[in-house]
């Protein structure tokens, strides 16, 4: 594989305009990177294109300094403009083939598959580098999101070759059961960024991936 699947394992931290506001963005992302986060997803839905571009560039440099990946949420054009390592797209966003054509074969592209193994299999066949299932638990960020049970993660691990990311309500106290179910990455938002010590919390979750 040309794309770095080996990096798609561990804590996958997603920024949030409320928990990582602009003035604190770099500081708080730096903390989770020091804690061992392997992937940062920059997610900002605002219309301030200039600010988003500047922040994404800062995060790209920061991630590279820590040997981590920066992915952009739902904005393939921004990912290309700042030279991010890839993008994460939803079912309602730009298609996988279009994203791959724009970002190139070495970009990391993940696809939201909600609670559907069918969508995940299609994403894998279409060239996705990883798939994401959720919400695994009740999510404080998206409380109305439909649930993706741990049994789905286990079945997906049996049938898929690409890495599996789990998202939704994951925190240090419940992360172990998601890893045991077969997840390669744990996407966390409030699970790290809403904690008093994001670095220590990230390190605690990341340690689950280094145990024998």
- Cα–Cα distances (Å) from 191 to 2, 38, 116, in that order, read 31, 15, 24
Model confidence band, residue 5 (pLDDT cutoffs 50, 70, 90)? low
Residue 123's H or E segment, with its range, is helix 117-125
DSSP label of 75: -
> Lowest-confidence range among 75-84, 112-121, 139-148?
139-148
Average pLDDT over residues 142-159: 93
The span from the CA of 96 to the CA of 128, in Å, is 7
Q: What is the pTM of this model?
A: 0.94
For 196, the token pair is: 């008093």
> Lowest-confidence range among 72-76, 115-119, 136-140, 189-193?
136-140
For 48, the token pair is: 């301030």
Residue 129 scores a pLDDT above 70: yes
Predicted local confidence at residue 7, as pLDDT: 79
Mention every residue, 6+ apart, whose C-beta is less than 8 A from residue 38: 7, 8, 9, 10, 11, 12, 68, 69, 185, 206
Nearest one of 190, 131, 125 to 155, comparing CA atoms? 131
**Where in the chain are the domains?**
5-209
> Looking up tokens 């300094």, which residue turns up?
65
Contact 165, 189 (CB under 8 A): no
Contact 19, 48 (CB under 8 A): no
Q: Coil, strand or helix: which one is 137?
A: coil
Mean pLDDT of the chain: 94
Predicted local confidence at residue 6, as pLDDT: 59
For 190, the token pair is: 């409030």
The CATH code belonging to domain 5-209 is 3.20.20.70
Residue 112's H or E segment, with its range, is strand 108-112
Predicted local confidence at residue 139, as pLDDT: 83
Model confidence band, residue 82 (pLDDT cutoffs 50, 70, 90)? very high
């Amino acid at each position: 594989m040309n794309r770095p699947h080996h990096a798609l394992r561990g804590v996958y931290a997603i920024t949030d305009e409320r928990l990582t506001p602009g003035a604190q963005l770099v500081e708080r992302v730096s903390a989770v990177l020091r804690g061992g986060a392997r992937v940062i997803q920059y997610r900002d839905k605002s219309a301030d294109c200039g600010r988003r571009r500047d922040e994404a560039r800062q995060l790209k440099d920061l991630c590279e300094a820590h040997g981590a990946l920066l992915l952009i949420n739902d904005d393939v054009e921004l990912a290309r403009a700042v030279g991010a390592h890839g993008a994460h797209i939803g079912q309602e966003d730009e298609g996988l083939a279009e994203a791959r054509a724009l970002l190139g074969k070495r970009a990391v592209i993940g696809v939201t598959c909600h609670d559907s193994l069918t969508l995940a299999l299609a994403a894998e066949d279409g060239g996705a580098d990883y798939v994401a299932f959720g919400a695994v638990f009740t999510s404080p960020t998206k409380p109305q999101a439909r649930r993706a049970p741990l049994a789905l993660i286990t079945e997906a691990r049996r049938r898929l070759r690409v890495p599996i990311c789990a998202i939704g309500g994951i925190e240090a106290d419940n992360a172990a059961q998601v890893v045991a179910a077969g997840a390669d990455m744990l996407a966390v938002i409030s699970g790290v960024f809403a904690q008093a010590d994001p670095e220590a919390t990230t390190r605690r979750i990341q340690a689950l991936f280094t145990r024998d």
